[in-house]
Structure 1
Amino acid sequence: MRIGQVAKLSGLTTRTIDYYTQNNLLPVERSSSNYRLYPEEALVTLEKIKKLKKEQMSLDEIKKHIQSDQQTNLIIKEVEDKISSLNEKIHLLEESLDQLPDKEREQVCLNLQEQMKRTLKKLSAIY
């Protein structure tokens, strides 16, 4: 979105948005014709900034808060990707298990259950 669209949708002036951009609170890219282009998430960030400003936070405090949110989102994304990868591996394991004789399949499943219990116990200790 160009800065005018962001201003209209956020209820802020282009000058305010430009100020936040200059202070590295908003991500921006330049088009081939040198227009500032903001991603959709800029609107969410601007709402956060407005909320935090109402709470009398300084610009530096707001910046730290937003950077912390960004780091948290990166970690969440990384964990979600790993979970997705593990789910794919589980699916492949299930297909392999289906080809085993019943007794062997049962033993493998018991071993996997024990491993999962230990893993969940470790996770619950962390959180």
Structure 2
Amino acid sequence: MPLGKELLKIGQVAKLSGLSSRTIDYYTQCGLLSFERSPSNYRLYDESVLHTLERIRLLKKQRMSLDEISASLQLPYDENHEPLLNEVREEINKLQKKMVSLEETMKHKPKEEKARIYQDLSNKLAVITQLLTLL
């Protein structure tokens, strides 16, 4: 960590972030947060960890797993695309819920109707998949 930056103990990070020390400890054990040890063996966090915790909070809100969050944190943060990316994740979550509802509704429909709807949705999903590959 760069010299001259303030280092915070876990209790300070908890107070500033609004999270419990236990949650911060868990994120640290999962490798989401980096720290260094003091001569007294305290974990010390760079103040930038507060920004990382906010990103984790936003990503968890998107129902991302800790593995997905970890992968996302490895990418450079771009404040211009992050809000849009979060909106896309929200829309995908909404679509997943709607698909489950549609699946339930379609259980008792005739095969022909199921095939027509499947074909329609498949075409649209193919376009979305192509767009994602461009990223």
Q: What TM bracket, shorter-length normalisation?
A: 0.5 to 0.7
Letter matched to residue 28 of structure 1: F
Q: TM-score, normalising length from structure 2?
A: 0.51
Displacement of 1:24 = 0.7
Q: Which residue of 2 aligns with 1:53?
A: 60
Which runs of structure 2 are paired with 1:1-127 in the superposition (5 Å)?
Answer: 1-69=8-76
Show CA shifts across 1:23-45 (max 9, x none): 11001100000001000110000
Bigger radius of gyration among the two:
1
RMSD after superposition: 1.3
1:69 shift after superposition? 2.2
Q: Report Cα offsets for 1:44-65 as digits up to 9, x if no partner.
A: 0000000000010000000000
Measure how far apart 1:68 and its partner are: 1.3
Counterpart CA distance in 2 for 1:45 and 1:27 is 10
% identical aligned pairs = 63
Count of aligned pairs: 71
In structure 1, the gaps of 5 or more residues are 73-127
What secondary structure does 1:12 align onto?
Answer: coil
Instruction: Give the gaps of 5 or more residues in structure 2.
Output: 1-7, 79-135
Which amino acid in 2 is paired with 1:11?
Answer: G
